[in-house]
Structure 1
């Protein structure tokens, strides 16, 4: 479980995230949704300790994010931000191998190599293992970064808008991979999404963030309603019954 207690981040006297009290259950996918600038990515990066908190505490599986040693935290939680700035002349396999750094410190063992191979295979990248990143499509490159995170072999995985710049086909493929990771690998995945319909279809829980606060948390059935979505996104939303579940229609 991920627990946030009275968490606050102060940017200015007028721009504040929190205070946030939130419990994200272990297992499955929890989607963070909300308008632009709501604070979704800030919450995610604070959970992953890439940004400090100004007040409150964050615990992951009982470990205090602020006080736990980095080498120990890296074996509990992994995070992928929107900005990926690795040198492009890396192969897919070399990139995914970085996920083993908390264990190998750069000297991959045979066991590490096996984990890297499994992560590459899981994301359907086996045929591209020796390909350089700058030779890949956007969707292939994004899968490689997610494979790197999975190779870190943490129970908790934080992903900041992994569908960014992906077309519909590759977005669907990515969400299917993440759904499998939650179900088959037992990972707890917390993901920032812009598309509420992807959240409604693939997530187990949805956390709606607005103006720096958590305003709704529940199952897709509880969140995917006209009233809730209209209030969160401040635009008229109508939820209809689609062939595979509820669909939000904006008008």
Structure 2
């Protein structure tokens, strides 16, 4: 018997699901399907709609649910019933994208609380914007971010060379030349090497400095 009731339950949900799918198709995709298939979906929707309506009417005759609390309208579900609540809901949805912190009861019955909530959210928004601007300007003015970016870029390239390239690609001299010439400012290079030797290196492995480079930059004299 239990298996039989499960089949009935699944059949009810399958019928309702088919009705819902046909209704959605005919109401949203009517421009993309021919009139022949539209009539088929309309007939299925009408037949299954009356089918579900009959069972709903039988349930209504069995138990008159006019006085059920589930039929009461909740004024808090729709924030756009009043101009004041609609204005506040639009403000919160524009700023935060969510209107759940407010309710229609607060906006209509407690105007002072609603005004305080708007003022607090406005000042917090101004503070966060100024804080973000200050942090962003500090990060932009920091010269070490360029070095950190180059270090991260080199690590990514190293990972690509190690795990994604084939052996014959690694042996290409036009990709990986034996000698690479760089042009740089000796003062900045000397300062950068001293920072690395003072454990101010942002990478996971310190680079190697040859003795010739140290002699050129006069690092051994200090």
TM-score interval, normalised by the smaller of the two chains? under 0.3
TM-score (normalizing by structure 1):
0.17
Larger radius of gyration: 2
Q: Which has the higher helix share?
A: 2
Q: Which has the higher contact order (CA 8 A, sep 6+)?
A: 1
Q: Which has the higher strand share?
A: 1
